[in-house]
Structures are given as C-alpha cells and as structure tokens.
Amino acid sequence: MAKTYALGAPYVLIGDPTQASGAGLFDLGLVPGATVTINQSKTRARDVGGIPRAEGAFDRGVRAEITIRLYDVQAEVMQNLISAATERTDGTGFSTTYRRQSAPPTLIVVPNGEEGDAVNSDRVWYMPAADSDGPIEILYDEGSEGNEGNASWEITFVGLQRETDQADTALDEDQQMIFQGDPPAGWSFPAAYTAE
C-alpha cells in the first residue's frame, strides 16, 4: 500500500546539503507540484490453514519516490536533475556510457510556507540519495494558449539507501532512504531558507 503526500506547490533543492550555507544545493525554487510516494513492503507468515498470523507480520522497510513537475527546460535545470546529462559549451549532452554514479544527490522538498526556516521545519522532506528514473517527456505543443502555451514536464526520483551522507557522516537507520523533519547535524540551506 502506497502512502502519497500531495505537496501542492513546494520549493525543491537538489545536491549536497553538507556544504556550508547550502553552497552545494541547486535551488529550483517554487515548482508547480511534487508528490512523495512511500511504498510499504510487508511479509506475513501463515499457519497450515493459510491464515495470516499476528506474530508472523514483518516489515521489510520502505521504498520511496518523489515526482516533481516543472515548466523550466533550461540547460542548468536538466543538468542538475538528470544524472546522465552533461554541460556542453553549446547546450546539454546526454551520456550513453555505462558507469557508476559518483554520488547520487540529496533531494529536498520544502512545502510552501515552510521556506522561511526550512532547517527547523518538521514538514520538509529529505531523500538523501535521489536517483532520477524512468522516461522524461518534454512536450512541445501549441496548447490552449497558442504558441504562448507552456506544457509542464515531470521527473521521478527513486530513493536509494545511503548509510553516510556526502561528508561521510553516518545517517540514522530511519534517515537512510527518506525522512521528514530535522536534518542531520552539518546539513544546511541557502540563506533564503533560513530564519534571519
């Protein structure tokens, strides 16, 4: 059973939160929408009659995804969101090389209204190792407003288990895939997301 938190129009940041003053985070700003999906994984042992037993219920951890909706198709945005995208002097390239990712980024979703002091908000979502996954469709279409129409596009990130953050500091067991609330010590936000 999946638990989905529809977040409306949140702020999204991606990158390395362990650098001072949020210097390692790319700020997407306010995006049109985002959804956090948490999938529970369960196992239930049964007796001879096939009836699930209370003492045989096991959690197998969660799997998590965050989907964000965007309007920007700027090169800088795609290069920070798509792991196989690379900066070129004349645009963006997309690698076809089979390679290990050096360090999947941390994805942070800040609900609207929490951006003034995000580091102290218990409503902010953190995905310590976010890997973009699945197809990305960028639609060029006249739309209902003629050539001025701007279609949105979506990108989904799958949470990977990360035992240490980008600074090699151990993460608590319940912070290794996805969590909400206080970030680990040493994580920071850009100045716009901190209380003055």
pLDDT tens per residue, range 53-86? 888 888 888 899 999 988 867 778 877 888 778 8
Model pLDDT for residues 136-168, shown as the tens digit of each residue: 887 776 665 555 556 788 899 999 999 999 999
How large a percentage of the chain has pLDDT more than 70?
Answer: 89
pLDDT at 3: 61
Which whole number is the average pLDDT over 5-32?
Answer: 89
Model pLDDT for residues 113-125, shown as the tens digit of each residue: 889 899 888 899 9
Ranking 90-99, 133-142, 150-159, 172-181 by mean pLDDT, the lowest is 133-142
pLDDT at 50: 77
* Interacting residues of 174 by C-beta distance below 8 A, sequence separation 6+: none
**Does the pLDDT at position 196 exceed 70?**
no
pLDDT at 142: 66
Model pLDDT for residues 20-31, shown as the tens digit of each residue: 999 999 999 999
How do the residues of the chain divide into helix, strand and coil, expressed in percent and rounded to 5?
A: 15, 40, 45
Average pLDDT, the chain: 85
pLDDT at 172: 95
- Locate the domains of the chain by residue range: 2-186
Rg of the chain's alpha carbons, rounded to an integer?
19
What 3-state DSSP class applies to 120?
A: helix
- Residue 90 phi/psi, 5-degree rounding, is -115, 25
Q: Where are the beta strands (DSSP E) in the chain?
A: 2-6, 11-15, 25-30, 33-46, 52-70, 85-88, 91-94, 106-110, 125-127, 130-133, 153-159, 179-180
pLDDT at 94: 83
